[in-house]
Structure 1
Amino acid sequence: MTNVFTRFAGLLLTALSLATPVVAAPPTGRIPATVAKTTRLSGPEKAFVMAAFEQHVALSYAQAGLSATGLPLDVYRRALIGFYHLQQRGTASAPTQVLSIIDFSRSSTQKRLWILDVAKGKLLHHTLVAHGKYTGEDLARNFSNREGSEMSSLGFYVTGATYQGKHGLSLKLHGVDAGYNTNALSRAVVVHGADYVSQQFIRQHGRLGRSQGCPALPVEETPAIIRTIKGGTVLFANGPTQAGYRSNWLSLDPALLGFARSKGLLGQVG
């Protein structure tokens, strides 16, 4: 069985290297049940899951039309690695496979928030989002996890409960990235709507307005977005290269295991 599986994994890897995202076929097969009882992948089993994951990245990116929206493929891939790692650890608990991505390497005048249904490969929302007052003017340059910094924080978050605040319907965020955003809750870094997040503000000032560190959204879109992402979904805030973001959530091996389990590639886990 192992020889057959090894040959299959090799053929899948070769096919993926030659195929384009649009025409590639979904992977088939399962890892042997004995492997499903472990917490680590190795050898041909890991090669199989790696191939399936990379194919999933490419296919879902193409299916959701993300290239045309300006979301870089490498940012999307990093977000998915963290997404599946968080699922593997049980940190993300929402039954829906919703993933939010903010790319703070883009200008504030550009739509830099994407909300996706990962299971369906569907883009649900794509809109503007503000950064913190001391993170930068138009471009986000400085990030902090410090109380009172009024800067945005990079990394992975898990969404919490909603509440009615001074900005109306708002959503709490739990920062789960050590060293980057774990003070989000105590800093009251939340998702909320703001008048300064609009095309009109951009026309008047050449950039969006800025928050005290919150990812503020266009007022008219905020309720629908919050309803979509509340209650345990993953949000990833990416920054420019010079920000030097490094995270344990970007470790590939646990993400591959989480991906394999979510796709039923491990058979019955004992």
Structure 2
Amino acid sequence: MTRLLLPLMTGSLLVSLSAAADDFLAQVLHPDLLRPAPLAHTLTRLAPNADRRVLQLAASALNCAAPEAGRLAVIDYSLPSTEPRLWVFDLDRGELLFEELVSHGQGSGDAEATLFSNTPESHQSSLGLFRTLNSYYGRNGYSLRLEGLEPGVNDLAYQRAIVMHGADYVSEAFIRRTGRLGRSHGCPAVRQEVTYPLIDSLKEDHYLFAYYPDPEWLESSAFLGCERDERPLAMQ
């Protein structure tokens, strides 16, 4: 099932979507998940520049899917591509490994991503929780395969070849020339300089959470409605 959002043309619509995300946190999530439990608290401490609400959702999704996971990447697509909006956490050590620029798909928007889907050839990014698979060398160089875990939302990611890879259009120089990052075919592309260490930190059975205030996804995602307790981290 394809899920699309209308482009954000007015400030009032952006406020409406943000309010929808707030309503979801207040009414749909289990109340216990709104308290600063260990994982959400640690993510917020390690990435103070990230939106606390997004990190809470990422923590909830991870604890539902894989509470013993060692690494987690979080992408906040509600931010423009000119701002760092990718964070990679080492959960075992309680460390922030990367805070980086990341691209979105050509079909998702210009400087800001507003459209998301699971549709092949849409060149749109997908939301939700992904499991990382193996690294490989492909047409975009060193890349990381992703397995979408949410039916109808991102479960065609592998089929669509939605992977993490490096790209020369992800750079501060590109932003200075064009006012935005370049765009992919739906892949979360990163700076070439960090491609190897970033992919190596995430490959083989870790997780990536991609966020945007899509009310339908926020209300329907099974991972965001899970009520498991959050596990303590080794270092906080």
Alignment correspondent of 1:79:
58
SS of the residue corresponding to residue 252 of structure 1 reads coil
- Runs of 4+ in structure 1 deviating by more than 4 angstroms, as ranges, are 50-53
Deviations, residues 38-95 of structure 1 (Å, cap 9, x unaligned): xxxxxxxx99xx489733145414541x22x2x111100110111111115xxxxxx7
- Per-residue CA deviations over 1:8-44 (Å, capped at 9, x if unaligned) read xxxxxxxxxxxxxxxxxxxxxxxxxxxxxxxxxxxxx
Q: 1:226 to 1:51 in 2, by over 3 A?
A: closer
Identity of counterpart residues, as a percentage?
36
TM-score by length of 1: 0.70
| Paired letter, 2:216 | G
Contact 2:108 2:124 in 1 (8 A): yes
**Displacement after TM superposition at 1:119 (Å):** 3.2
The question of 1:252 aligning with 2:234 is answered: no
- CA distances 1:131-184 after superposition (whole Å, capped 9, x unpaired): 000100001000010111000000000000111112211110000011110000
Give distance in 1, aligned partners of 2:215 and 2:174.
Answer: 27
Higher relative contact order, structure no. (Cα contacts within 8 Å, ≥ 6 residues apart): 2
Greater fraction of residues in helix = 1
CA–CA distance in structure 2, aligned partners of residues 87 and 199 of structure 1: 35
Separation in structure 1 between the aligned mates of residue 126 and residue 166 of structure 2, nearest angstrom = 18
**2:105 pairs with 125, 128, 132, which one?**
132
- Give, in whole Å, the separation in 1 of the partners of 2:61 and 2:131: 11
**RMSD of aligned Cα (Å):** 2.3
* Residue of structure 1 in register with 2:96 after alignment: 123
Q: Which amino acid aligns with 2:37?
A: Q
Which amino acid in structure 1 is aligned with residue 158 of structure 2?
L
How far residue 113 of structure 1 moved from its aligned partner, in angstroms, is 0.3
Q: Secondary structure at the match of 1:223?
A: helix
CA distance in 1, matches of 2:36, 2:158: 34
Sort the Cα spacing of 1:215 and 1:57 in 2 relative to 1 into closer, same or farther, 3 A: same
- Rg (Cα) greater in structure: 1
- Within the alignment, does 1:54 sit opposite 2:28 as a pair? no
Contact map agreement 1:132 1:212 (CA 8 A) in 2: yes
Counterparts of 1:207 and 1:226 in 2: how far apart (Å)?
A: 23
Question: Of 128, 145, 150, which residue of structure 1 is paired with 2:118?
Answer: 145
Shift of 1:201: 0.5
Which secondary structure does the structure 2 equivalent of 1:221 belong to?
A: helix
Conservation of the 8 A alpha-carbon contact between 1:159 and 1:231: yes
Corresponding residue for residue 178 of structure 2: 205
Secondary structure, in 3 states, of the residue corresponding to 1:108? coil
| Structure 1 residues 195 and 227, CA gap change in structure 2 (3 angstroms) | same
Query: What pairs with 1:1-270 in structure 2 (closer than 5 Å)?
Result: 50=32, 54-57=36-39, 59-64=41-46, 66-67=47-48, 69=49, 71-87=50-66, 97-239=70-212, 241-242=213-214, 244-246=216-218, 247-253=221-227, 255-256=228-229, 259-260=230-231
**Superposed displacement of residue 97, structure 1:** 1.4
Alpha carbons 1:142, 1:243 under 8 Å: kept: no
Q: Which runs of 5+ in 1 are unaligned?
A: 1-45, 89-94, 265-270
Letter of the aligned partner of 1:252 in structure 2?
C
Shift of the 243–167 alpha-carbon distance from structure 1 to 2, 3 Å rule, reads farther
Cα distance between partner residues in 1 of 2:224 and 2:159: 25
Unaligned runs of 5+ in 2: 1-29
Contact 1:141 1:243 in 2 (8 A): no
- TM superposition shift of 1:118: 2.1
- Relative to structure 1, the CA distance from residue 62 to residue 170 in structure 2 (aligned partners, 3 Å threshold; closer, same or farther) is closer
When the two structures are superposed, what TM-score results if normalisation uses the length of structure 2?
Answer: 0.79
Q: Where does residue 4 of structure 1 map in the other structure?
A: none
